[in-house]
Structure 1
Amino acid sequence: YVTDHVTIADLFSHRSGLPDHAGDLLEDLGYQRDYIVQHLRDQPLSPFRATYAYTNYGLTEAAVAVAKAKGVAWEDLAADVLYKPLGMGSTSSRRSDYDAAGNKAAPHVKTDGGWQVSTTENADSQSPAGGVSSTVQDLARWMRLQLADGKFEGRAVIDPAALNETRTPHYVNSPPRAPAATAGFYGLGWNVNTDPEGRLRLNHSGGFELGAATTVTLLPSEQLGIVVLTNGQPTGLPEAVAEEFFDLAQNGRETVDWLSFLGKVVPAAAASPVSKTDYAKPPAGAAPAKPNSAYTGTYGSGYYGTLTVGEQDGGLVMTVGPAGLRYPLTHFDGDVFSFASKGENAVGLSGVTFTVGGDGRAAKVVVEQLDVDGLGTFTRS
C-alpha cells in the first residue's frame, strides 16, 4: 500500500513510515546511493502518514525521483534550477567540488585535548539532504529568493505557489508539551512554526558529528533571515547565534542565555544512543570465549551484505561493508564481544553476539550497533 501511495511530499515531510535516519548506517559502511535507496524497502515501517521520523535517505529518494523524471542527475538539476540562476558560484551538490576548492573550512571535532581537525564522510549518496557545500554569501542569495517568494533581483526563478507549498504544515512533528503551548510542524524540508506574535517562522538545522553544524531561520513577514555555518560538530552554537540575532532584532536584547540553553539541548538531541551495556567492564566471573575457530567465517545479511570474522595476532577481527571496515573484537562474556564503532553514527563500544550451535560453530551473529531496526543479524554462509 505504501509503495503505491507514497508521494514526494510524504518523503520530504518525513511521514512515510521509514524509521529515524533509515539508511545512514549503510552509508557509514561505504554503500552508495543506489544500494541504499533500493534497500530502504527492507526497513520496518511505522504507520504511514501517522508518524514522523527524520530520514536523509527518504528525502534523497524523493529528490532523485524528481531528477529522474527530468532525465538528469540531481546534482545537475540543483545547479541548473537554483545555483546558477542565483549566481551561487561557490555552491555545489558534489563533494569533489568542495575537495577541490582552494579556500574552504576544515571540519573539527571536540576531543579531550580540545578541537581537532576531522574529516566528514563523503555525503554524495545523500546529497539532496546533506551534501551541499556553500558559503554565507551564496546562501544569502538563496535567502533573498525565499523572502521574495521565488523572485531574485526582480526575476521569477521559482513558482511562488510551489515555494509556499514547502512552507505549509504537512505533519505535527512537535506536539504541544503543555496546555497553553503551541505545536511545531514540518513542511517540505522546513520546520514550520509561528513566533509569539503569530508570524510564520521557518527554520532548519543540519550537521555532521564529524565536524559541521549549520542553521537557517527566516521570518518572511519581516523580510528577515539569518544563516549560520560552522566547521565544528553540533554544539548548539549556530542555533544560539540565530536565536540571539532574532532576539536583538525583535526585543533589543537577549532575553535568554541562548548559548547555555542550546548548548545543552542540541548536543543531547544530536547524540547517537549508546549501548545500555558498559562493554569496558566485563562482568565478574565472565564466561570464557570458545576457540577462535568457533567464530571465524563468513556471514551474510540481506540488508548489510557480507560480514567476515577472521583471526589477527591471536584475536578476532570483524570486517563489514564494501569499504572493508575492520573492527578488532574484544571478549566480554561467553560468546559476546565488543568493538569500537566509528564513523558519523559512532556509538562508542557496541556488542557483537554469536549464537553457537551444537557443532561448536557460530551459526549467526548479531551486531548491536547495526540492529537498531532489527536488521543487524548475519547468518553464516
Structure 2
Amino acid sequence: MRTLRALGAAGAALVLAGTGVATAAPSPPPAPKPQLTDAQIDKAVARLDQTITDLMRRTGVPGLSVAVVHDDEVVHLKGFGVRRTGDPAKVGPDTVFQIASVSKPVSSTVIAGAFTTPDEWDRHVTLPGFAFKDPWVTGHVTTADLFSHRSGLPDHAGDLLEDLGYDQAYIFDHLRLEPLTSFRASYAYTNSGLTAAAEAVARAKGTTWQKLSADTLFKPAGMTHTSTEFSAYVNAPDHAATHVKNPDGTWSPRYVRDPDTQAPAGGVSSTARDMSRWLRLQLADGTLDGKRIIPAATLARTHVPQIVSQPPTSPSGRVGFYGLGWNVSYDDSGRLRLSHSGAFELGTNANVTMLPLEKLGIVVLTNGAPVGLADAVALEFFDVAQHGKATTDWLPLLASVYAKEIDEARSPTDYAHPPASAKPAKDSAAYTGTYDNPYYGKATVTADNKGTLTLALGPKPMLFPLTHYDGDTFSFETTGEMAAGRTGATFADGTVRVESLDANHLGTFTEQ
C-alpha cells in the first residue's frame, strides 16, 4: 500500500499546522483555550457543501461522503456524486468506502480498547516468524514503536512483497532481511510493522484482528457498516467503487484493491455515518452516548507525540510528530491537532482531522485516487472556521504533493526511449532461466518462439513482458499499488537486478 509519505503518511501535518516561530519560555505557557465560537463553526458548516461541490468539479472525482462532529453532535452528514461512474446510484451517508491509511487511527483505537492501562502500549511485540535484522531490536520492539513508525524498518518495508502477492506470514518472516536505521531515533512509515503489532495484540488476546476490532470498537460503538475485511466492503450493496484518473481527465473504476494482508494499516472500510460515531468517541475521550467504550488513558496515549515525523525546514518552521496511528501537531495557540490521510493509488483517498480542544472533527471519504480532494476539503473547512475564509487555494498545493510522491518513485531512466546508440541484446537463451532471491523469492525468465522475454515474479507468478532497452537491460511496466511506471531489469554474470525492487539493495536475483 502506498500511503503517500508527504500526506498519506504524514497526514498533512505541516500544511495543517501552518508556520510559526517557536520561542523559549522561562516557564510553561498557560494551557490553550478554545477559540472557535458556535457561530464560526456554523459558518464553516454552511459553506461546506459549496466547497465540496466546487472541489469535486475541479478534480472530477466521482463521489464523496463527509461528516462533521462538534460538541458531541453530528452537525453535517452528507454524500455527493455517484458510487461508480456509468451508474446513477448516488453516494449517501451509509455508502461504504475503503479508507486506506485512515485505518491507522481506527486501529490504534482498537488497541487502546484492548488495553487497560497506557503502559501496555510499551509491551514487547512477539509474533511467530516476525523478527528484525538486529536481534536486540527483535527483543525490545514494542507496540508503541511499531504504531509510531520508529522501529528502524525502512519506509514502506514489505509493501512490494504485498504487491507481488505474498501473504502476511511470508512478509512478516522476511522483514528480518530489511536494513535498519536507528531504533526509536528515526521515523519511516511502515504498514507491515504496524500490522505486525496489531496482529500480535490480537494473538495475545486469543483472537483474530478482525474479531478484536469488531468486539472492541465496531459493535460497541454502533459502527454497523465498518469492517477490517475486504469481503465486507466489496459485498456491501451500497459501496463506492475505487476510481483512477484517465489521461483525458475522466475517471474509471479500473482496479480493485484488496488490502487484507495489511488490514490494521489500511484495510478498514466504513461510512461517513459510522466514522462520525468514531469521531464522537475520540472527541469524548472514549465515551459514546454516555457509555465508556475505550479507556480514556489508553486512548489519550495515542494522541501524544512519539517521534518527529517532519523536521522543520527552517528555523521558524513547525515540527510535525507522529503519535500512535495519528499525525500530531500543534498550532500557533498550542492547540492539539490530530489528523491522518489515506490513499490508494488504485482509487481511494480519505482524510480525518480533529481539534480536540474545540470538540471539532471532520472526516472526508472519496472514491478517487489521491489528487488532494479529501485533504483540501478538510483544510478549507478548518480555514473557514478559524479565519472566516480559505487562506489559500489548497487543492493545487496538495495535488502537487501527491504528484511529487509518485514522480519520486519513478526511475530516472526514460525506458520508453532507448538511446540512439543502444547495444543489441544477446540471444534470448542468455537470459532465460530460474533465478532466486532470499527476499522476493523465485523469478523466472522465459522466451516465446519469437525470442520475446517475459519475467515472472511472485508466489502466483505475475507476468511482465520485457522490452529491450540497451545491451543487457530490458524494461517492463510495473503494476499494483506501488506501481512506478517502467522500470529496468539488468542481466549480468548470472544475475538479474530489478530496479523497482532494489531501493533497499534487495532486488538482485541469482540464477539457479
TM-score (norm 1): 0.96
State whether structure 2 residue 257 is matched by structure 1 residue 121: yes
User: Partners in 2 of 1:267 and 1:235 — Cα distance?
Assistant: 8
The 10-residue stretch of structure 1 (112-121 or 27-36) with the greater mean CA deviation from structure 2 = 112-121
Equivalent in the alignment of 2:153: 18
2:507 counterpart residue number: 376
Do the aligned residues in 1 keep the contact of 2:406 with 2:484 (CA within 8 Å)? Answer: no
CA-CA distance at 1:49 after TM superposition: 1.2
5+ long unaligned stretches in structure 1? 357-362
2:455 aligns to what?
Answer: 318
**Partner residue of 2:142?**
7
Paired residues of 2:456 and 2:462 also in contact (CA < 8 A): yes
Written as runs of structure 1 = structure 2, the 5 A alignment for 1:73-92 is 73-92=208-227
| SS of the residue 2:153 aligns to | coil
Q: In the alignment, what sits opposite 1:224?
A: 360
Q: Bigger CA drift: 308-317 or 123-132?
A: 308-317
The superposition leaves residues 76-121 of structure 1 with CA deviations (integer Å, 9 ceiling, x where unpaired) of: 1011100000111100000011111111101110121321112232
Amino acid corresponding to residue 474 of structure 2 in structure 1 = F
Displacement of 1:63: 0.3
Q: Distance in 2 between matches of 1:143 and 1:44?
A: 37
Which residue of the partner structure matches residue 96 of structure 1?
Answer: 231
CA deviation map 1:300-341 (0-9, x unaligned): 111111100001252000011013110000111111111111
Equivalent residue number for residue 498 of structure 2: 367
- Between the aligned partners of 1:229 and 1:6, the Cα distance in structure 2 is 33
**Does residue 1:211 correspond to 2:347, yes or no?**
yes
Distance 2:256 2:345 in 1: 8
Counterpart position of 1:359: none
Which structure is higher in RCO with an 8 Å CA cutoff and minimum separation 6? 2
RMSD: 1.1
CA contact under 8 A between 1:31 and 1:321: conserved in structure 2? yes
2:284 is the alignment partner of 1:148: yes
Contact 1:216 1:228 in 2 (8 A): yes
User: 1:284 and 1:83 mapped to 2: Cα distance?
Assistant: 60
Q: 1:181-330 counterparts in 2 under 5 A?
A: 181-269=317-405, 273-314=409-450, 315-330=452-467
Given the alignment of the two structures, is residue 53 of structure 1 paired with residue 184 of structure 2, yes or no?
no
Q: How does 1:170-185 map to 2 (within 5 A)?
A: 170-185=306-321
Q: Which amino acid aligns with 1:312?
A: D
Match for 1:342 among 460, 479, 502?
A: 479
* Counterpart code for 1:13: S
Deviation at 1:270, TM superposition (A): 5.4
Whole-angstrom distance in 1 between the partners of 2:279 and 2:454? 49
2:309 is aligned with what amino acid? N
User: Equivalents in 2 of 1:176, 1:285: separation in Å?
Assistant: 46
Q: 2:469 maps to what in 1?
A: 332
Number of residue equivalences: 375
**Residue matched to 1:131:** 267
Once the 2 structures are TM-superposed, how far is the Cα of residue 271 of structure 1 from its aligned partner? Answer: 5.2
> 2: distance between equivalents of 1:368 and 1:36?
20
Q: Sequence identity, in percent?
A: 57
User: What amino acid does structure 1 have at the position aligned with 2:500?
Assistant: Q
**Aligned equivalent of 1:161:** 297
1:209 and 1:323 map into 2 onto residues whose CA distance is: 22
Q: What is the rounded CA distance, in whole Å, between the counterparts of 1:115 and 1:19 in structure 2?
A: 33
Q: 1:56 to 1:329 in 2, by over 3 A?
A: same
State the alpha-carbon separation in 1 of the partners of residues 254 and 274 from structure 2.
Answer: 24
Letter in 1 for 2:334: G
The DSSP-based 3-state class of the residue aligned with 1:254 is coil
